[in-house]
A and B are shown apart, each in its own frame.
Chain A
Amino acid sequence: MENMLELLTNANTQWVLLGALILGFASGLIGSFVLLKKQSLIGDAMAHATLPGVCMAYLIFGVKSIPLFLLGAACTGLLATYFIQAIVKHSRIKTDASIGVVLSVFFGLGIVLLTYISKNTTGDKSGLDDFIFGQAAAMVKGDIQVIAVGSLLIILISSLFFKELKISIFDPLFAKGIGLPVGLFNGILMGLVVGIVVVGIQMVGVVLIAALLITPPLAARYWTDQLGHMSFLSGIIGAISGVVGTLISTTGEGLPTGPLIVLCASAIFLISLLLGTRKGLITKVVKQA
């Protein structure tokens, strides 16, 4: 207990917790749109595909620099998204298979590069492994600032264009009919997903960051039938998961942050699935009785 108190008063821990809170909220918020647009798995593939980008940035520039890593991550993440859509457009392969192929190729390449780096390069390469599962404890104030600014920007954009994103997802044909550039808003949403993945991988890791996009809105859907409430609640669930997961992760020696955050979100999902006021399993049985 004393340990925990000490941890909470530690300035660095406070920064990290703040980062987890904002990141969790932002990803829960836009996760609602992604879920309703049925693009959750594209987000997952994009996240996995950021690993080779991080490794290539290290190989090319030879330094550990978070901004360069995130730039590399954004490049390969976007490239993977482009490939998924190009494969669907120009072949008989359907979206699910296309996502599977692209995800495994990019992630495989990432692991190969990571192994190569750890065996064959000299210099400080510590911390690169942490991109797989995330390591909040290793983060410093500068890293958190990147997360905070990125997440706040994402929250701002999705709040400003809430109405436009909503109609573009619910009824794209009607939206086009009233002259809304639906393609642009699809692009904005995709950009927001790339943004959250890129700023989040250091804390949550490439393997599980997508779960932070998918699980909170799924849980939130069990409590409300209104998109506005759903995306806000989803943000709250994401924020709680981020904070609790990070807290547990920083107390233990080298516990990876991503899995803990995701386990926490999944616990909230499980509770929602059972007790949610909208079609929760137990709630339904009780209502029928």
Chain B
Amino acid sequence: MTHALQIQNLAVTYEKQPVLEGVNFNIPEGTLTGIIGPNGAGKSTLIKAILHLIPRLSGDVTVYGKPYKKQRSLIGYVPQRSEVDWDFPTNALDVVLMGRYGHIGWIKRPGKKEVNFAYECLDKVGMKDFAHRQISQLSGGQQQRVFLARALAQDSQIYFMDEPFAGVDAATEKAIMKLLQEWKQQGKTVLVVHHDLQTVRDYFDHCLLLNKTPIECGPTETVFTLNNLEKTYGGAISFLGNGPALVQEG
């Protein structure tokens, strides 16, 4: 199996405190990986460090066998919804068009082809009717869908998503999962920071259990076990029945 992503010896510090250390893992192509761990485990930081958005103390990121910087165009990123100012004077279509900026190049404006593609992307997430809606007038779920449409517009091979399910309605959650499955079938690789342990088994075929350093990384079936979760969460887990019903305490 080809590795879409290889992380070697990644470490991040913040004000001299280690946030992430000894991070080594590989992600096979065409997998849906859930990044799971307690609050403060460094999940978002991990994504940002991989994408070179924040300074790293050390670490190499290899994408399809080549250094990250040469492969940037293959990568799409969906930041947390709370990271942007939704009062910004722009509409849904404009945000989706931003997904094309990397393809358009500097100074040039998006043309008709780009605009049509952006409409298509909005349509795919059921937001075509909201194309000209000011973004502050969208619900949380709708805003997340706009971000998703922007990711679609990027047309990437590997996607990083930071808590896409946070504060969205059930319909949006379903729409997101449908798209992720589609991506997987197209051979795309997706990494998702995820909080809800209940849905891990249903959503992801791969898992990265993280608490400042990777605890386990592999197929969900083998690594998403009570034992490993206790290691990750420091024992603050209770196990209900035999199914995927895991509840995080506290």
Contacts and interface: CB of A to CB of B under 8 A. Distances in A.
B79 A173 contact: yes
B183 to A, nearest CB: 17
Contacts of B107: 160-161, 163-164
A174 B88 CA distance: 15
B119 interface: no
Contacts of A169: 88
Contacts of A221: 89
Nearest to A278: B134
B178 interface: no
Contacts of B106: 161, 164
A226 interface: yes
A38 B27 CA distance: 39
A23 B94 CA distance: 29
A133 to B, nearest CB: 32
Nearest to A217: B89
A226 B91 contact: yes
Contacts of B94: 226-227
Contacts of A161: 106-107
A161 B109 CA distance: 10
Contacts of B90: 166, 170, 225-227
A193 to B, nearest CB: 19
Interface stretch (A80-88, A175-183, A194-202, A258-266): A175-183
A261 B167 CA distance: 46
B171 interface: no
Given A176-B51, A177-B75, A171 B89 contact: no
Interface residues of B, number: 30
B75 A167 contact: no
Contacts, number: 74
Nearest to A220: B89
A171 B98 contact: yes
Interface residues of A, number: 24
Nearest to B134: A225
A227 B150 CA distance: 18
B240 interface: no
Main SS at interface, chain A: helix
B103 to A, nearest CB: 9
A173 B77 contact: yes
Interface in B80-95: 83-85, 88-91, 94-95
Contact of A224 (B79, B89, B150): B89
Task: Please indicate which of the listed interface residues A171, A221, A226 has the most CB atoms of chain B within 10 Å of its own CB.
Answer: A171
Contact of B89 (A167, A175, A177, A226): A226
B101 A170 contact: no
Given A170-B84, A174-B79, A225 B89 contact: yes
Given A171-B79, A173-B79, A173-B83, A178 B89 contact: no
Interface in B25-82: 48, 51-53, 72-73, 75-77, 79
Contacts of A225: 89-91, 134
A170 B51 contact: no
B134 A174 contact: no
A230 B134 CA distance: 13
A167 B77 contact: no
Contacts of A167: 98, 101
A178 B79 CA distance: 12
B241 interface: no
Contact of B72 (A171, A175, A179): A179
B242 to A, nearest CB: 40
Contact of B88 (A170, A177, A179, A224): A170
Interface string A205-239: 00000000000000001001111001000000000
A221 B88 CA distance: 10
B110 to A, nearest CB: 8
Contacts of A227: 88-90, 94
A4 interface: no
A36 interface: yes
A175 to B, nearest CB: 8
14 contacts: A167-B98, A170-B85, A170-B95, A171-B79, A173-B79, A174-B84, A178-B77, A178-B102, A179-B73, A224-B89, A227-B88, A227-B89, A227-B90, A227-B94
Given A36-B89, A178-B102, 5 more contacts: A160-B107, A163-B110, A170-B84, A178-B154, A224-B89
